[in-house]
A = this chain, B = another copy of it.
Amino acid sequence: MRDLSDPLRPVPGSQSPAAAPILETRGLGYDAGGRVLIDGLDLTIRPCRRTVVLGANGAGKSLALRLMHGLMRPARGEVLWQGKPLDRQARAAQAMVFQRPVMLRRSVRANLRFALVVHGFAGRERALREARALEQARLTDLAHRPARVLSGGEQQRLALARALATEPRILFLDEPTASLDPASTHAVETLIDAAHAAGITIVLVTHDLGQARRLGDDVIFLHAGQVAETGPAARVLTAPSSGPARAWIDGRLYFDPTP
């Protein structure tokens, strides 16, 4: 397994904006059902930073995450992982929590174990991580329950714990607290912070302005499959320069003035 002394792994805290991007997209495009859904995305994800992806429903946030994670083949453009095209090995260093978590038809514990086994953990090491992940997700008491009967929030916590247990370099989170109660939301934000502090790059989709403020270093704002605005969270979330971002923050619908 990779360990923390991996020379390629950036030192935690090295958040200088000048650091080489860990992941970039160049002119990324995706079509389906005869429509252009993602159009010319040039994104830069900097290592060890928390990038928040914002945008209206249907803006293409989840699609963008899937493309960056290499789950879908782009129609145009490319995704670069540390400057090189994404391959299977690169993806093994990534993890994602889906908007609608996929639970295997197994117990909570077996869901975690599956991910750990896939990532090569075995024996005591695996048991330890399993226990820690259950603890993190506060699911220890439910470890033997079939995962698919868990409540919405419990499933979301399990999905996050499963992703974290594999120790990714980058973690894609698609609305990870959408179904969580306030205390769990707080706990998950703390977990994300801890992961970030441990050097994991975070890419987070959320509709919660407060969360974006609390967790975001950089912001990518999508609108209708295109980038409307990017920049440091401090600026974009207080003084957005694009119409869509302004409207979103105000809780208004944005209608393109030039139709």
Contacts and interface: CB of A to CB of B under 8 A. Distances in A.
Contacts of A186: 251
Interface in A38-61: 55-58, 61
A238 B149 CA distance: 33
A33 to B, nearest CB: 6
A35 to B, nearest CB: 9
A185 interface: yes
A151 interface: yes
A211 to B, nearest CB: 12
A16 to B, nearest CB: 32
Nearest to A153: B57
Contacts of A92: none
Nearest to A174: B152
Q: Interface residues of A toward B: which range?
A: 35 or more
A196 interface: no
Contacts of A175: 152, 178-179
Contact of A145 (B33, B247, B250): B33
B152 A183 contact: no
B149 A33 contact: yes
Contacts of A154: 57-58
Contacts of A58: 142, 150-151, 153-154
A248 B183 contact: yes
Closest A-B pairs by Cβ, 7 of them: A57-B153, A182-B251, A178-B178, A183-B253, A99-B152, A56-B181, A58-B151
